[in-house]
Amino acid sequence: MKRFFTILICKLLRFVGGLLGKGSSLPGQVALKLCPDILSRVELPEYIIAVTGSNGKTSTVEMIAHILQKNGKTVAWNREGSNQIEGVTTLVLSSATLGGKVRSDVLLIESDERFARYTFRYIKPTHYVITNLYRDQLTRNGHPEWVYDAIADSIHDGTRLILNADDPLVSRFGAGKEDVIWFGADRLSSDTDTLESAYNDGAYCPVCKAPMTYSSYHYNHIGHFACTKCGYKRHDTDYAITAVDLDRGVMEIDGKYRISLALKSLYNIYNILAAYTVARVVGVDGEKIAAEMGDYVLKNGRVITFTLGKRKGTLLTSKHENSISYDQSLRVARDYKEGCDVLIIVDAVSRKYFTSDVSWLWDIDFDMLDSPNVGEIVLAGKYVNDLAARFDYTGIPKDRIKLFADIPEAVDHLENGGERYIYAITCFSDKAKFLARVKEDQ
Amino acid sequence: MKLLHLYHDIMNLYGDYANVLAMQRILQNSGETVEVDKLSLGCEARLDQYDFIFIGSGTERNQKVVLEDIRRFRDDLKRCMDGGKVMLFTGNSFELLGKTVTDADGRVYDGLGLFGFTSEEQNKTRMTADAVFGCGFLDSELVGFVNKCSRCRGIEEPLFEVKLGLGNCDNDKGEGVRAENLFGTHLTGPVLMKNPHFLIYLASLILNRAPSEDGMEFVKAGFEVTLSELKKRMEKENN
């Protein structure tokens, strides 16, 4: 009876919350109060797929859901991105019958990397995707090894790991396990022999701390690594990106599936590969996955094209306090051969909590914008001085940089400043301030 | 002049390297020719030939690796400290200088013993906070961020007074450690870039004269914005 009432109340709260436009964590929170072990009292589907990692969780989960649904599977997933235990509880209970059975073929859970250990105490995933571990929100997360330890606590026997073979820290989760499913990229034409990053998180082996070498870097410290001492090295892959041409916007998976890219970034191809891998594991044919992923435009609002007066542009939502996320966006601007201007806004560091810390600006490789493809660089927001100080230590000529503490003034300046394409790079916390001044393309 | 960024690739977690850039720039603007050496595990180094030595923050595991490596510099560091060399240790690198570091599993590592304090880590809660610190030798407060998992006990002469943020342990109002011109603080990242007055102070100790303040407009303005944000925060917390 307790289960029945808890599920009922969760569903009612979810319904009312939906009408009021409230978030999806409160119903789960109440349910957990009423019945702390409610998650272990529900009957779960054959596939319980969890996705965690620093970057790409939401996009990967969205693409997995899309592919599976298009191929006839029913999927329960946390599309609002409420990824702590309360949000996951809401997801599970609102997908369940009052008798306590989740009706879908697949339960797909995006999980916050620090809270996975609580969530998966009650729900053991059948498959667990770990995308990457980067410097991300360090003001809360500490550092990548701290997060590694938190995730390690959430991995239980009987769960099959699906790991990014190109991330040295993530790969360590697979040590000593026989049944890991590995995904990664072969040597790509866009690879470099030397590190391109403001810092090197692949300098030392995560296992024995001896120096590591790379035969190829995909981006930052993601690539083909090998320890010089203990033998730890990149694992061979089960599913791989075999080629990519970002200029033409095409990737190839497993040597035969060509997918055209709506978003021409390395990030995006890894998210697609992770989604492909999961769909293959669930039994979808590769050809069908490729068909669904071709020109797929993410619906989570992270990439938005816009019009500003006579100018066109794209907002690349990046994450403050996450240098690799910024590096990826900067790379898109750097490689835009038609030429572009770039707007960077740092106004509120986070939308969820207060911090005035901008140390992460020093981890971003802004020198990438010292490219013939990039014209004017407009820096804006409350922390414009910190941005300016950071750019002062790049090789970018000062006369190409414009500073505005006021975001509307920065946008006005761009509106009246030429006709080049605009890449706007900022975070969830600041993007609305920008979007309020432009016309979003439908 | 010669600057040393020691363990530059393994103790560099929050943009700490920018401290060396800031020092290099201010000394150059003051008319000095500046050379920067970046050294790490196993490298030979003669510490006495440098005018400024910096070590940044690292993961707990990396700090233990460095602790083993840095032992060979113990006596050199002691001489540098006693001789008044300007040195800055940010984040958990200053824990290396104490008597012991105890990890979350209870394993005790000997520190360099330049100070008598002890550090104790735990792995349950990451202790993070924006910080406003006061100190006697500067006109204005310092701003920054603390990101740690340890408590340091037994520091009798702390470097800073905590106005917002975290002290050496629990409710301790003292933060960091100082002896002669050695400065250790759990502030992480580009402390000197974020606090131009602290940079000017350290540079004046190195130069024995007032350094040039040319080209510091952005960092000075950035400091004022952050200080005002944090003061608003303090008022909010006090109400």
Q: Which of B5, B14, B224 to mutate to test the interface with A (most CBs of A within 10 A)?
A: B14
Q: Measured between alpha carbons, how far is B196 from A275 in angstroms, rounded to an integer?
A: 47
Q: Which two tokens stand for residue A80?
A: 């609002």
Query: Are A204 and B226 inside 8 Å of each other by CB?
Result: no
Place of tokens 């309360």: A86
Q: Which residue has the higher pLDDT, A30 or B186?
A: B186
Distances, alpha carbon A304 to alpha carbons A126, A334, A421, in Å: 34, 18, 13
H-helix or E-strand containing A31?
helix A26-34
Contact A388, A382 (CB under 8 A): no
Pairing between strand A106-110 and A75-77?
parallel
Q: According to the model, what pLDDT value does residue B236 have?
A: 87
Q: Measured between alpha carbons, how far is A290 from A429 in angstroms, rounded to an integer?
A: 33
For residue A339, give how far its alpha carbon lies from the nearest alpha carbon of chain B (Å).
28
Q: Look at phi and psi of residue A167 and say left if phi exceeds 0, alpha if psi is from -120 to 50, else beta.
A: beta
Q: Is the dihedral of CA A110, A131, A236, A240 positive or negative?
A: positive
- Domain A303-440 is found in CATH 3.30.930.10: no
Pairing between strand B160-164 and B174-175?
antiparallel
H-helix or E-strand containing B120?
strand B118-121
CB-CB neighbors (< 8 A) of A361 in chain B? 15
Q: According to the model, what pLDDT value does residue A81 have?
A: 66
Q: Is the dihedral of CA A212, A214, A220, A223 positive or negative?
A: negative
Residue of A nearest to B188 (CA): A359
Q: Measured between alpha carbons, how far is A181 from B203 in angstroms, rounded to an integer?
A: 54
DSSP states of A282-296 as a string?
HT--HHHHHHHHTTP
- Nearest residue to A201 (alpha-carbon basis) of B160, B38, B12, B40: B12
Query: Given this structure, which CATH class describes domain A2-293?
Result: alpha beta
Of B14, B123, B221, the CB nearest to A138: B14
- Which stretches of chain A score pLDDT less than 50? none
CB-CB neighbors (< 8 A) of B59 in chain A? 143-146
Please provide the average confidence, as pLDDT, over all residues in chain A.
93
Of B12, B126, B130, the CB nearest to A357: B130
Burial-class residue B181 by CB neighbours within 10 Å (0-12, 13-18, 19+): middle
Query: Are A359 and B188 inside 8 Å of each other by CB?
Result: yes
For residue A354, give how far its alpha carbon lies from the nearest alpha carbon of chain B (Å).
9
**Does the CB of B232 have a partner CB in chain A at under 8 Å?**
no
CB-CB neighbors (< 8 A) of A142 in chain B? 126, 128, 147, 149
Give the HSE-up count for residue A108: Cα atoms under 13 Å, Cβ half-sphere: 29
Whether residue B93 has pLDDT greater than 70: yes
Query: Matching CATH topology for A2-293 and A303-440?
Result: no
The whole-model pTM stands at 0.95
Q: What is the arithmetic mean of pLDDT over B123-138?
A: 95
Contact A366, B196 (CB under 8 A): no
For residue B18, give how far its alpha carbon lies from the nearest alpha carbon of chain A (Å).
7
Rg (CA), chain B: 17
**Does the CB of B60 have a partner CB in chain A at under 8 Å?**
yes
Q: According to the model, what pLDDT value does residue A295 have?
A: 87
CB-CB neighbors (< 8 A) of A146 in chain B? 59-60, 126, 149
Q: Which residue has the higher pLDDT, A85 or B191?
A: B191
Q: Which two tokens stand for residue B159?
A: 């470097």
**Does the CB of B69 have a partner CB in chain A at under 8 Å?**
no
Of A143, A146, A356, the CB nearest to B130: A356
What is residue A97's three-state secondary structure? coil
Query: Are A362 and B218 inside 8 Å of each other by CB?
Result: no
- Nearest residue to A59 (alpha-carbon basis) of A214, A362, A254, A266: A266
Query: Are A203 and B21 inside 8 Å of each other by CB?
Result: no
Where do the domains of chain A lie? Answer: 2-293, 303-440
Structural domains of chain B, ranges and CATH numbers in brackets: 2-122+176-238 (3.40.50)
Query: Are A356 and B59 inside 8 Å of each other by CB?
Result: no
Q: Measured between alpha carbons, how far is A31 from A28 in angstroms, rounded to an integer?
A: 5
CB pairs < 8 Å spanning A and B: 101
**Does the CB of B59 have a partner CB in chain A at under 8 Å?**
yes
How does DSSP classify residue A37? T
CB-CB neighbors (< 8 A) of B17 in chain A? 199, 362
Please provide the average confidence, as pLDDT, over all residues in chain B.
97
**pLDDT-based confidence at B101, cuts 50/70/90?**
very high
How does DSSP classify residue A364? S
Q: What is the dihedral of CA A277, A282, A283, A286, to 10 degrees?
A: -20
| Residues 6 or more apart whose Cβ sits within 8 Å of residue B192 | B18, B19, B22, B23, B88, B198, B199, B202
Q: Measured between alpha carbons, how far is B49 from B80 in angstroms, rounded to an integer?
A: 10
**pLDDT-based confidence at B223, cuts 50/70/90?**
very high
Q: According to the model, what pLDDT value does residue A23 have?
A: 66
Q: Measured between alpha carbons, how far is A59 from A68 in angstroms, rounded to an integer?
A: 14
- Nearest residue to A127 (alpha-carbon basis) of A113, A108, A141: A108
Contact A239, A273 (CB under 8 A): yes
Name the phi and psi angles at B145, rounded to 5: -140, 140
Q: According to the model, what pLDDT value does residue A159 have?
A: 96
For residue A397, give how far its alpha carbon lies from the nearest alpha carbon of chain B (Å).
15
- Nearest residue to B132 (alpha-carbon basis) of B88, B195, B89: B195
Q: Measured between alpha carbons, how far is B202 from B192 in angstroms, rounded to an integer?
A: 9
At A298-323, the pLDDT tens digits run: 887 788 999 999 999 999 999 999 99
Distances, alpha carbon A343 to alpha carbons A304, A384, B69, B80, B217, in Å: 14, 11, 44, 46, 22
Contact A377, A341 (CB under 8 A): yes
Bridge partner list, A253 = A241, A257
For residue B82, give how far its alpha carbon lies from the nearest alpha carbon of chain A (Å).
31
